[in-house]
A and B are shown apart, each in its own frame.
Chain A
């Protein structure tokens, strides 16, 4: 009887084992939209290089909704992008476990993205503390990380040093409201021969995202800091995702001659939480080895 009980137990255990597993085999994923872009109904624009194209600088703000000092950096980024709307592209990258992770119930959202996390891990921004950021991912005094107080002067310095762009980027978007998609034709032209290969990454940013944000303000009466919970904080330039590879693709090999043109077609499926009216396609062209950005460009979904 005891032997029977043992075997019954063993069989019962085996049944549990067999019952409980779904092994997923590669490929683990499939594209959100499987299809081709209808280039007849939505024709790509014509493009020719403009050797007088102006340089556009990328200013990245690595931030988080529980980072009390981060709104100060966001204010600086907003001031820069308002002052130089055609010369600066701003990206607010919510990244890191300390300040960007959801902290329900006050801060339930998770605005972190795969691209932002990959950048943050690679460049070590949140590990160095937030708020912090980068200006064109360029090294200043041996450090790629730029405190927010330096963003304006460093962006100005880059623009003053070489106002003409090395790479020209042009974007044409078709917003397909019924399908919840955006077709984005991206042209790039090498305006001069560059010593490194150039990569182009395509990303989505969104303005006017209303969500809670912690903010520290100075208590002028009692000294110290007051912690504010701003329920309806307006987040600008928020990185929402990427299209294609996180780190982009090579568009020009090293030494590609001036005048070389390439076109990248992207079909972007909108996420329910995005407001298309506030979203932009952001392109970043950078040197593949040194990661320094040579040109940034953005275009609204609806343009």
Chain B
């Protein structure tokens, strides 16, 4: 069922047109605003990441024979009245850039759809993204930097009544340039009290309840494993129920999901049902915000194929209950990847805005963010070999991760702004294998400090300095990071950053990773040219991660909309 043969042609020519098509369109219009007329409207987004790889044995950069690699796409969307249609062309030439799964190699129209809306009814045929609730049993989405894309190709109906929202869908999910071996079908219903009751809508209270079901069909009836023949469930179902209660500044959300027997290579072919619970409490007042979240996941890895691992063919998505850090060392050395097979997690966050004019806040106020999260494994007992383990509801197993961080953001004057961040983390490297060492230790504890200073020299000239340090005696040792960025608004920016593995146990690997960049913004189009070393690390988005290999070379990036 590969569709690359139908839609794709292995040629650079069309790919080269991606950039030029946008430029020509831009040349014809002074404003990127789209206008719908009797012919409807056409909008688009395109982007390209081009790497020129160079030899660099010192950094361990992988040698790339083809030297130049590119990931690119062009997405078009046409809309007229209730009708819409779109497509996305993708090209990974001659192969995907390092770190992206090599099975994306090739080019073609990966995504295409046609849809119409009529009086609350929405029908889509073709490719679409969708999510039920928090995603515990179903989420089809794209995370381009991860090389993750599991859109559904099939048929979807949505019906939006006042207070009631219904969804039903069926199809197959993307599997690189093929379709998943399994089929999915499911439905979701959500009831929103405030939408049907004007009295509730005017009050500070509301109640939203919802429920979902997602089933998959995979044809195999039996599997030979060792000296056993496993009886496989061809149809595996998962369901969830959720509720959100709002009372003034407080809100409480909870979702529980369960899945029937789903033996797979990930769970070592056990028949134990899966379940997940996610509860969050939020308080939001003008100067104070607080949130507390708890999560329990037990055997909830749900895929369209029972034979794949990693990030492949996932049907569901378990939200992370850890802060998604943005500073380099905090985000990419020891990030946490959500363990779909089992974890107990807890997160608390307090945001305080010290008011302007107060003693602590000064003339411009100050923001304080306190965040802490901790994740444990399940407390398990061995059960029957194929029946799976038993897990104690209130017990916890070994610790997988913890992270405590505090961030201060203070504007001192119209010209100066300072961000400070401190973070303490622990990562169990047996569970989250993010170490770059061939024989990593079982765990790592680290302290990270960040200073981020912004200086607005004039209206158009801005300078920003980032200094970061990761201190640890474990694993690959300590790191230093610095970044200097100069922006000449509204078009230009240049930056230089360097990372240094100051504490690597092997002195020969205590090397610098410099990277210089220059960029140009042209309306809704942005170009960036960078050169230097890319450090091996881990990239995580929403708790889903991929390895980033070491690489040295020059990159050209483009992203634009019209």
Contact = CB atoms under 8 A, between A and B. Distances in A.
Interface string A28-50: 11111100000000000000000
B44 interface: no
A129 B261 contact: no
Contacts of B309: 101-102
A268 B224 CA distance: 13
Interface in B211-239: 211, 213-217, 224-237, 239
B229 A13 contact: no
Contact of B233 (A22, A114, A242): A22
Nearest to A132: B439
Contacts of B235: 19-22
B237 A29 contact: no
A233 interface: no
Interface string A1-38: 01001100110110011011111101111111100000
B233 A32 contact: no
B226 A242 contact: yes
A51 interface: no
B215 A16 contact: yes
A260 interface: no
Interface residues of A, number: 55
A142 interface: no
B338 to A, nearest CB: 16
B236 A69 contact: no
B119 to A, nearest CB: 11
B438 A68 contact: yes
B168 A114 contact: no
Contacts, number: 138
A128 B437 CA distance: 12
A32 B215 contact: no
A21 B260 contact: yes
Contacts of B58: 224
Contacts of A17: 213, 237, 239
Nearest to B384: A26
Nearest to B547: A103
Contacts of B386: 26-29
Nearest to A32: B227
B166 A9 contact: yes
Nearest to B442: A127
A5 B161 contact: yes
Interface string A250-277: 0000000000000000001101000000
B215 A28 contact: no
Interface string A126-143: 011110000000000000
B271 interface: yes
B57 interface: yes
A129 B215 contact: no
B164 A9 contact: yes
Given A2-B161, A16-B185, A21 B236 contact: yes
Interface in A217-266: 219, 222-227, 241-244
Contacts of B442: 127
A117 interface: yes
A71 B384 CA distance: 36
B189 A10 contact: yes
A54 interface: no
A227 B536 CA distance: 15
B248 interface: no
B213 A241 contact: no
A224 B226 contact: no
Nearest to B59: A224
Contacts of A114: 225-226, 268
Nearest to B227: A32
Contacts of B263: 28
Given A5-B159, A22-B236, A224 B227 contact: no
Contacts of A16: 168, 185-187, 213, 215
Contacts of A20: 185-186, 213-217, 235-237
A24 B261 contact: yes
Given A6-B164, A9-B159, A13-B187, A21 B227 contact: no
Contacts of B265: 110
B390 to A, nearest CB: 14
B386 to A, nearest CB: 4
A28 B234 contact: no
B449 to A, nearest CB: 30
B224 A32 contact: yes
A21 B215 contact: yes
A151 B239 CA distance: 52
A216 B438 CA distance: 11
B440 interface: yes
A223 B168 CA distance: 60
Contacts of B516: none
A29 B187 contact: no
B34 interface: no
Nearest to A103: B310
A127 B216 CA distance: 34
A68 B438 CA distance: 8
A222 B215 contact: no
Contact of B168 (A12, A31, A113, A271): A12
Of A2, A22, A23, A226, which is in contact with the most chain B CB atoms at under 10 Å from its CB?
Answer: A22
Nearest to A105: B102
Contacts of A101: 309
A129 B159 contact: no
A22 B234 contact: yes
Given A16-B213, A114-B226, A224 B508 contact: yes
Of A29, A113, A128, A268, which is in contact with the most chain B CB atoms at under 10 Å from its CB?
Answer: A29
Given A9-B159, A24-B231, A97-B433, A219 B438 contact: no
A219 B440 CA distance: 23
A33 B231 CA distance: 15
B261 A222 contact: no
B161 A32 contact: no
A105 B103 contact: yes
A219 B229 contact: no
Nearest to B184: A20
Interface in A179-206: none
Given A17-B239, A224-B58, A243-B227, A67 B213 contact: no
B438 A129 contact: yes
A19 B185 contact: yes
A98 interface: yes
A281 to B, nearest CB: 13
Nearest to B162: A2
Contact of A13 (B189, B216, B217, B224): B189
Given A6-B161, A127-B442, 13 more contacts: A5-B164, A12-B166, A12-B168, A16-B185, A20-B236, A21-B236, A23-B233, A29-B225, A29-B230, A105-B102, A127-B430, A224-B57, A241-B226
15 contacts: A2-B162, A6-B161, A16-B186, A22-B235, A22-B260, A26-B271, A28-B230, A29-B231, A31-B229, A97-B433, A102-B309, A226-B57, A242-B226, A243-B227, A244-B227
Interface of A: 2, 5-6, 9-10, 12-13, 16-17, 19-24, 26-33, 67-69, 97-98, 101-102, 104-105, 110, 113-114, 117, 127-130, 216, 219, 222-227, 241-244, 268-269, 271
**Top 7 A-B pairs, shortest CB-CB distance:** A20-B215, A129-B439, A21-B237, A22-B233, A20-B237, A29-B228, A28-B386
